[in-house]
Amino acid sequence: MRDGPYPKADADIVSSETWPDMHIRKADGPALDGPALEGPALNDPASHAGLVARIGRISSTLLVFSFPVCFGCLGFLSFLWVADSTNPTWQKIILAGWATRSITITSLALRWATTVQATLCTSMLAAILLQRDAVPLSSAAAVSLFRFDNTGPWPLLSNMVTQQRRVFSLIGLLVGLLSITTLALQFASTALLSQVGQAVLPVPTTVAKTLYAADPDGFSFGSQLSSTPSFLATTPAGFPAFAEWISDGGSPARPPVYGEFAPSSGPGIADTGTVMRAFLPIRAPEERSRLTEYRGFGTVLDTRVVCMRPKLTDAVYSTGSGFQVRGLIEPDVKPPGLWEARDLQGGTNFSRPFNCDFAAAAVNDYTVRHGWPLAICIPSFGTGTRQGIPSVMDPDGRGDLRDEYEYTYILINATMSEYVTTLDGSDVWQTLSLQAVDYDKDKVTLQITLCMTAIEGQEMEIEATRPTPIPPEPILSWNTSVYAYDAAAVLRQLGAGPSSPAERGILALTRRSSWKWPTWPESLSLTGGGFSTTFALETMRSLYSSTSNAAQYTILAQMGRDTRNPALALQAFLTTLCAVCYYDRISLFDVAAPSDQVTLVQVTRPLEWPAFIAVAGVVVLHLLLVLLVIVVFCVRGRLSRIGNAWSSVAQLLGPTTEGWIRDVNGMDDRAVESWLRVCGMDKALVGVEQVGGRAQLVEKVKKS
């Protein structure tokens, strides 16, 4: 280099005493004599800078800070995927609709941290490539400047593939893997959100005021009693889910209480057993459809029904005022728990007179299309003797307290004799064929059974639960091919078939220690429970297909046909009728109490794991690569300062470049590469080494 006089120094020019070997060249002239610029941190082998100084304080801070950011993001994403509704913090995030936003923001933070790491690691890998490996002379400037600034590992990888063709080296492997992990994490948000979707979340809530009953002394109660509407003509608006408990008859550890019996069938008997069904004070169908747990007051019915083979005497069939059958009826077979009360004179004649209207099937396929042609009627009180079955709500041994309404019914299955095909073969029926006394051409075949119920309604605290998923509440659909209702789904809800409570869409009612009345009411019909349920039964006298609501009658007829069990048919009909009354009067309830409910809420939440596992795996691999690059740079990158432009440029000077580098200041990269090719220097390999106390670019010999 040529020497020359120094320009006059001023306060902004470094003094020769400070840097005694500094040489300065004018932009348009020869080099000037003076001390050469040597920084002790770079040029003095004994004073190499520490790792923090070589990376830079800001870059070191960002690098260190990026690790807890990555771990925090992974931890938070793990929390979103692993936690459930039992965690209140997770529940608040999900219910607030912050699942997708939380994942997006966390992914952005993760992407920022990994991009910072990738950028700094690219600078370190460029430094390692220059110092411990070799690069083509045409790539030296680009690789050196990567130490100062870069946009990630992709430009370095591209340079190594297209210019150096050394991608299969160790450094090339590190650059390639770092490029893959960095690129993959750019799509972390998209991948994670692809595993997020709509789901239902059980959310517990406490309702401070749940209206569950009508006050017997209130205006609503009195006004409805005075109007005495009949619910027998009402088409059910729906078939609300209820809670149900069925007795298993007890065990030695838990003996049955008074009035409790297991379902059974014996000679001449069909017994549903003690079945407690609770209506929930939730009016809106969509709210019920999302309910999985309920703890609070509800209205409970004892819906036990026992049908037994009767003894008939003086049976007469007439047609003058419609089809009628009259006579005397009493049990031929006595069911378990039957109580009997003698008359005032001590008499034991339990025959009761009856006069029942009915309709008879007059086509061969009536049962197939419509169900059993059943009729229901109520016998008279007779001589003053009484019989019945007890309810678990009655005081011990006092089933006879229900002296106002005994809820005993006669079921008649009638078919004109010329159309009889197959009769029900169970022995709960008494079968007889009768000639009309007023028209000798009419002959009817009747199957008659006597049914007793324990039905009572009482408001009490209940606990009911059901699993998910919850099937929708059933509806009656019209079958246009047979011009009749299709009640299969409704019958399943009401107990037809072996379906579990979950399959039926109902809740499991928890057994109480006692179902008894705290205080026996003066009148069962004048209680809140009776007002909203069994009140609907008081107007029922004779009922058959032509005199009843078609939808309600379908439940009775098709349940009898499908189960061949008159007790289940009557139980289903009475439950439906009481439900119609309950949900008609629920808007009149004015007695409130708190309740605890768990409802399903539609939320957006993480559903699947593959994307999360993939992202977590890529992050872990990325962090391991970053740590490995830092360790290698700590050992093999001692001559470089990351993020420093001057040192990156200055180290390009050396014996290989000093003779021509100043002549390419107006040329683009392609022109320089062509010029080097013409000069035969395009194959030269160079690297940064410490020479004479100065880090500079030197030519390296390729190892064979």
Task: Give the DSSP letter string of 185-210.
Answer: HTTHHHHHHTTEEEEEEEEEEEEEEE
Output the pLDDT for position 421.
67
The predicted model scores a pTM of 0.75
For 554-585, the pLDDT digits (tens) are 999 999 999 999 999 999 999 999 999 999 99
For residues 403 and 626, the model is more confident at 626
Output the pLDDT for position 88.
93
Determine the Cα angle at 564 with ends 559 and 567, to 5°: 70
Task: Report the percent of the chain where pLDDT is more than 70.
Answer: 90
For 133-191, the pLDDT digits (tens) are 888 888 889 999 999 999 999 988 888 887 665 656 788 899 999 999 999 999 999 99
Q: Do 161 and 224 lie in a common domain?
A: no
Q: Do 289 and 414 lie in a common domain?
A: yes
- From 603, 633, 660, the end of a domain falls on 603
Task: Dump strand ranges (E) for 7-98.
Answer: 21-25, 31-36
535 with 525: CB under 8 angstroms?
yes
In a domain, 566, yes or no: yes
Q: Do 579 and 624 lie in a common domain?
A: no
In a domain, 412, yes or no: yes
User: Which pair of structure tokens corresponds to residue 662?
Assistant: 């100043």
In a domain, 7, yes or no: yes
Q: Do 390 and 521 lie in a common domain?
A: yes
Q: The domain containing residue 629 runs over which residues?
A: 54-195+608-643
Query: Which of 129-143, 363-377, 658-672 has the highest mean predicted lDDT (pLDDT)?
Result: 129-143
Output the pLDDT for position 489.
95
639 with 101: CB under 8 angstroms?
no
Q: Do 349 and 495 lie in a common domain?
A: yes
For residues 667 and 3, the model is more confident at 667
In a domain, 327, yes or no: yes
At residue 26, does pLDDT exceed 50?
no
- Summarize the confidence of residues 23-34 as an average pLDDT: 44
Output the pLDDT for position 674.
86
Q: Do 228 and 315 lie in a common domain?
A: yes
* Region of poorest pLDDT, from 1-10, 77-86, 371-380: 1-10
At residue 406, does pLDDT exceed 70?
no
Q: Which helix (H) or strand (E) holds 699?
A: strand 694-700
Residue with tokens 């007790």: 567
One-letter identity of residue 617: G
Work out the pLDDT band at 358, boundaries 50, 70, 90.
very high
Output the pLDDT for position 23.
42
In a domain, 72, yes or no: yes
One-letter identity of residue 690: Q
Output the pLDDT for position 585.
92
Q: Do 170 and 103 lie in a common domain?
A: yes
For 265-283, the pLDDT digits (tens) are 889 999 999 999 999 999 9
What is the DSSP track for 88-141?
Answer: HHHHHHHHTT-HHHHHHHHHHHHHHHHHHHHHHHHHHHHHHHHHHS-EEHHHHH
- From 603, 635, 659, the end of a domain falls on 603
Q: Do 22 and 146 lie in a common domain?
A: no
CA 253 from centre of chain: 37
Output the pLDDT for position 246.
97
Q: Do 323 and 220 lie in a common domain?
A: yes
Q: Do 581 and 436 lie in a common domain?
A: yes
The DSSP bridge partners found for residue 375 are 412
In a domain, 441, yes or no: yes
For 500-535, the pLDDT digits (tens) are 999 999 999 999 999 999 988 877 777 878 889 998
In a domain, 376, yes or no: yes
CA 540 from centre of chain: 44
Q: Do 435 and 569 lie in a common domain?
A: yes
- Summarize the confidence of residues 205-217 as an average pLDDT: 93
Output the pLDDT for position 167.
56
Output the pLDDT for position 583.
96
State the pairing for strand pair 243-246/507-509.
Answer: parallel
Alpha-carbon distance 458 to 533, whole Å? 9
Prior bond of 469 cis (ω within 30°): yes
- From 554, 582, 603, the end of a domain falls on 603
State how far the alpha carbon of 506 is from the alpha carbons of 20, 220, 239, 297, in Å.
94, 29, 11, 17
User: Which pair of structure tokens corresponds to residue 82?
Assistant: 């692993």
At residue 682, does pLDDT exceed 80?
no
Q: Do 331 and 235 lie in a common domain?
A: yes
At residue 262, does pLDDT exceed 70?
yes
For residues 429 and 19, the model is more confident at 429
In a domain, 652, yes or no: no
Determine whether 700 is exposed, middle or buried from the number of CB atoms within 10 Å of its CB (0-12, 13-18, 19+).
middle
The interaxial angle of helices 99-132 and 610-636, nearest 10 deg, is: 30
Work out the pLDDT band at 375, boundaries 50, 70, 90.
very high
The DSSP bridge partners found for residue 695 are 690
- Summarize the confidence of residues 611-615 as an average pLDDT: 96
Output the pLDDT for position 698.
85
Output the pLDDT for position 702.
63
What is the end-to-end Cα distance of the chain in Å, rounded? 35
Output the pLDDT for position 661.
82
Output the pLDDT for position 699.
84
Determine whether 682 is exposed, middle or buried from the number of CB atoms within 10 Å of its CB (0-12, 13-18, 19+).
middle
At residue 369, does pLDDT exceed 90?
no
Domain count, the chain: 3
415 with 445: CB under 8 angstroms?
yes
At residue 5, does pLDDT exceed 60?
no
Number of other residues whose CB lies within 10 A of the CB of residue 440: 8
